[in-house]
Amino acid sequence: MTAGNDVDAQSLPAFQQYQLAFTAHIRNPGQNKLPSKVPASRMKVYTEIVFNNLQSSVSACFPVASKVLGKRAWTRLVRDFFIHYQSATPIFRQIPEEFLKYLSMAPSLPPYLYSLAHYEWIELAISVADIQDATADPAGDLLEGKPVLAASLALLSYDYPVQLISPRFRPDAPLPQPVNLLVFRASDDNVRFIELNALTARLISLLKDGELSGSISGRQALESIATEMGQGDTQSIIQFGHAILIDLKAQGVILGTVIPG
């Protein structure tokens, strides 16, 4: 993409040609000349302020990814984002999501970086999602009743141990099995992460799908897991699963059960 060089640029009013030259220079001062007769010292104020503000907005959401990459590489990455990407949102808290979209197609990044950035972004997304918890019976029977999950919640599966990555630990290969993480907004509005085993992840996934299609009971969810596993001992799966449901309730992932009516 080349900035400000549209073929029909000449047909634009003079003030818009000037504006496009102005913004093209701000985005990529190394490549695009500043508009003619504009003092370089004054123009520099814009090239610095605009980029620094953007970089702060992006970096605030990605404290680990920026440290893992290192200051110089991170700054270059944000600059590439600014040069190559047309951010489409007027809403400031969505800037990190735009950056994430850019990362998904950015060349030559460490293979784990997108997963790590996604893991950092999801905390923000879950904390401010515009969705409210449904009412639930906190004393309901989690096995026979239909469990209600925290409304702002996401089940995640990453090929890298994103929760462990730091400047001292940069994974050089994907995990043999993906890591399952649950992130949710608790009733106190704080965001929590829980690492899940495969069975619990499947259970939450079934309950979540069930909520969309009219709810299923804890027992129904566990019975279908037993069927999926092709295991004869449904009873022990239900027993084991019941304990998981009680634990998820204690952690605030499950709020209670659907109130009939």
Partner 1 sequence: MAQLSDSRYAAIKGAGLGLKRELIPQVQAEFGKPIIANIDFLEIAPENWIGIGGRPAKQLAWFTERFPVACHGLSLSLGGPDPLNEDFLHQVKQFLDLHKIPLYTEHLSYCTDFRDGVGGYLYDLLPIPFTEEAVHYVVQRIRRTQDILERRIAVENASFYVAAPISEMDELTFIRAVLEEADCDLHLDINNIYVNSINFGFDAHQFLRGIPGERIVYSHVAGHYQEAPDMIIDTHGEDVIDPVWALVVEAYQLFGAFPTLLERDINIPPLSELMREVDMITAYQAPYLIHDESLIRKKVALR
Nearer to partner 1, 12 or 164 (CB): 12
Interaction of residue 35 with partner 1, rule CB under 8 A:
yes
Interaction of residue 32 with partner 1, rule CB under 8 A:
no
**Burial of residue 204 (number of CB atoms within 10 Å: 0-12, 13-18, 19+):** buried
In whole angstroms, the minimum distance from the beta carbon of 220 to partner 1 comes to: 30
Cα separation, 155 vs 17, whole angstroms: 47
Angle at 77 between CA 71 and CA 18, to 5 degrees: 120
E strand or H helix that includes residue 46:
helix 40-59
Nearer to partner 1, 126 or 165 (CB): 126
Between 217 and 256, how does the x/- string for binding to partner 1 read (CB under 8 A)? ----------------------------------------
Cα separation, 93 vs 62, whole angstroms: 13
Cα separation, 184 vs 189, whole angstroms: 9
Cα separation, 143 vs 216, whole angstroms: 10
Between 131 and 170, how does the x/- string for binding to partner 1 read (CB under 8 A)? xx-------------------x------------------
Instruction: Tell me if 118 sits within 8 A of 179, measured CB to CB.
Output: no
Site for partner 1 in 99-128 (CB under 8 A): 127-128
The residues with which 156 forms a beta bridge, in sequence order, are 181
Site for partner 1 in 175-194 (CB under 8 A): 185, 189
For residue 172, give the 3-state DSSP assignment: coil
Interaction of residue 213 with partner 1, rule CB under 8 A:
no
For residue 187, give the 3-state DSSP assignment: coil
Stretch that binds partner 1, among 65-73, 81-89, 99-107, 252-260 (CB under 8 A): 81-89
Across the chain, the runs of DSSP E, i.e. the strands, are 147-149, 153-158, 179-185, 191-196, 254-257
Nearer to partner 1, 5 or 227 (CB): 5
Q: How many helices (DSSP H) and strands (DSSP E) are in the chain?
A: 9, 5
Q: Which of 31, 53, 166, 231 binds partner 1 (CB under 8 A)?
A: 53
Interaction of residue 6 with partner 1, rule CB under 8 A:
yes
In whole angstroms, the minimum distance from the beta carbon of 85 to partner 1 comes to: 7
Q: Which two tokens stand for residue 56?
A: 């702060």
Q: Which of 10, 11, 30, 36 binds partner 1 (CB under 8 A)?
A: 36
Interaction of residue 14 with partner 1, rule CB under 8 A:
yes
Stretch that binds partner 1, among 29-37, 59-67, 137-145, 238-246 (CB under 8 A): 29-37
Query: Could you list the residues that contact partner 1 (CB under 8 A)?
Result: 1, 3-4, 6, 12-16, 18-20, 22-24, 26-27, 35-39, 42-43, 45-46, 49-50, 53-54, 57, 85-93, 95, 127-132, 152, 185, 189
